[in-house]
Chains A and B, each alone.
Chain A
Amino acid sequence: DSGVTQTPKHLITATGQRVTLRCSPRSGDLSVYWYQQSLDQGLQFLIQYYNGEERAKGNILERFSAQQFPDLHSELNLSSLELGDSALYFCASSVEGLAGVDEQFFGPGTRLTVL
Chain B
Amino acid sequence: AQSVTQLDSHVSVSEGTPVLLRCNYSSSYSPSLFWYVQHPNKGLQLLLKYTSAATLVKGINGFEAEFKKSETSFHLTKPSAHMSDAAEYFCVVSDRDSSYKLIFGSGTRLLVRP
Q: Say whether A and B bind each other.
A: no
